[in-house]
């Protein structure tokens, strides 16, 4: 939990938080989002990668195996991801929350916002400690 809080609060992430993730290849989702800082509440555009239950962000789009994330959030420890236009009065905004913290993001379009919410939501379900592998439901594969 300590490494989670360190990543969440904007301190440099611990390499243990991401060393087993090949974030530079075949991400589940990647793209630009604008993220609100945690201490100084300015908005900064960052390149985000979602892979293996981690949401990582970088200053630049060009990510290699030698890139160091600016932050890492283990989404399995998050409770909700949902639209937040009404909360922060900005279009295409969404929030990612634990029981202690909330991070805000702004996508470039409504479509991208919905895609990020769906991707992160799926990852929360897949990587949540409260859900075992046998309980994961395949919502994309409906049985007749």
Report pLDDT digits (tens) over 110-133: 999 999 999 999 999 998 865 444
Query: Does residue 95 surpass a pLDDT of 90?
Result: yes
Give the mean pLDDT of the chain: 84
**Half-sphere exposure in the Cβ direction for 96 (13 Å, CA):** 26
What percentage of the chain has pLDDT greater than the value 90? Answer: 63
The pLDDT of residue 3 is 45
- What angle is formed at CA 91 by the lines to CA 74 and CA 108, rounded to 5 degrees? 65
Beta pairing class for 102-106 and 29-36 = antiparallel
DSSP-based three-state secondary structure for 126: helix
From the list 50, 70, 37, 34, the residue with the least C-alpha distance to 118 is: 50
| Edge-to-edge strands, sheet with 80-83 | 71-74, 54-58, 43-51, 29-36, 102-106, 93-97, 80-83
pTM, entire model? 0.80
Task: Enumerate domains of the chain plus CATH numbers.
Answer: 18-128 (2.30.29.30)
Q: Residue 78 above 90 pLDDT?
A: yes
């Amino acid at each position: 939990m300590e490494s989670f809080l360190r990543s969440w609060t904007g301190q440099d992430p611990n390499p243990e938080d991401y060393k087993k993730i090949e974030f530079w290849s075949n991400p589940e989702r990647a793209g630009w989002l604008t993220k609100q800082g945690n201490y100084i509440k300015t908005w900064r555009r960052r390149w985000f990668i979602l892979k293996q239950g981690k949401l990582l962000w970088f200053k630049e789009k060009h990510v290699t195996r030698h890139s160091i994330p600016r932050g890492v959030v283990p989404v399995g420890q998050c409770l909700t991801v949902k639209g937040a236009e009404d909360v922060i009065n900005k279009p295409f905004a969404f929030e990612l929350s634990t029981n202690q913290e909330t991070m805000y993001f702004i996508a470039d379009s409504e479509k991208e916002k919905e895609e990020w919410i769906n991707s992160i939501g799926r990852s929360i379900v897949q990587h949540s400690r409260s859900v075992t592998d046998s309980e994961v439901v395949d919502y994309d594969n409906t049985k007749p």
